[in-house]
Amino acid sequence: MKIIVTGANGQLGKELTHWLTESAEIIGLSRDILDIKNLSACRSIFSLYSPDIVIHCAAYTAVDQAESDPDEAFRVNLAGTRNVAVAAREVGAKLCYISTDYVFDGTSTTPYREYDNTNPLTVYGKSKLAGEKAVQTMHDRYYIVRTSWVFGKYGNNFVNTMLKLAEQKDELRVVSDQLGSPTYTYDLAAFLIELVSTDYYGIYHASNAGSCTWFEFAQAIFEECGHNTLVIPCTTAEFPRPAPRPAYSVMDQSGIRINGLKLLRPWREALHHYLKN
């Protein structure tokens, strides 16, 4: 089984590219090797490697910047995804598209199911949803995997940011009115490798089990590390940003359950594993 991973320099892409498995050859393609905005480049690269599967991690993820640069967000997340889908289909490769909790508006009070109505409020969320629709239109063997609050050993993320800030400050103010589920790239990568080896196509929600607020997440980080940093809860309104954040982005994982796949472990266990290693 030969797998191409786009966006190989990103958090998840790099995790997958470094994944050790006897069942698959994994080829990571960073932006300087593959420009997904170029259809001819996608066709040429995929034809060269003849992958069985493409895991499409490359994306425009600057949530706030997208509000003032919507064309580029859609150029990458919609047109780029269309190009990857077309090229993957033409070489007979399955396609796994990594999406986001931002396709929902965050107004729910119960976990979002895979086929609940989407209603993105941000340019980023709208562009990622447009990418989902491109995949569904341009390909016939696809997996769409929505995830949230990603952290891992590659790249910038909330855990690393908290640890850096703790070295500079004795107390931190962290938002306590946004609820979601952290996702460890190591666990997500393991799930993706399992998923793409099946023919269980469709939409999936994949994050570590359980939920918390960013405030609770920060508290857990410092508890695991033995830091004495004081974490003070605050509201989203106290930290206005160009793109609104979902107040509630917990996602139900019925797709994983009904297909008999392995659920991701509780987020606190995943955090412990990350910090220990």
Looking at the annotation, which residues are catalytic? 124
Strand partners for 27:
4
Please choose, from the candidates 14, 9, 15, the residue with its C-alpha nearest in 3D space to the C-alpha of residue 191. 15
Please check whether residue 25 is in contact with residue 2, taking contact to mean a CB–CB distance below 8 angstroms: yes
| Secondary structure string (H, E, C) spanning 138-192 | HCCCEEEEEECCEECCCCCCHHHHHHHHHCCCCEEEEECCCEECCEEHHHHHHHH
Please choose, from the candidates 89, 91, 59, 88, the residue with its C-alpha nearest in 3D space to the C-alpha of residue 72. 59
d(CA 88, CA 223): 45
d(CA 176, CA 243): 18
d(CA 52, CA 196): 10
d(CA 61, CA 100): 10
Q: Both tokens of residue 270?
A: 């995943």
- Strands 212-213 and 179-180, how do they pair? antiparallel
Residue 224: is it exposed, middle or buried by C-beta count within 10 angstroms (0-12/13-18/19+)? Answer: middle
The three-state secondary structure class of 65 is helix
- Strands 212-213 and 183-184, how do they pair? unpaired
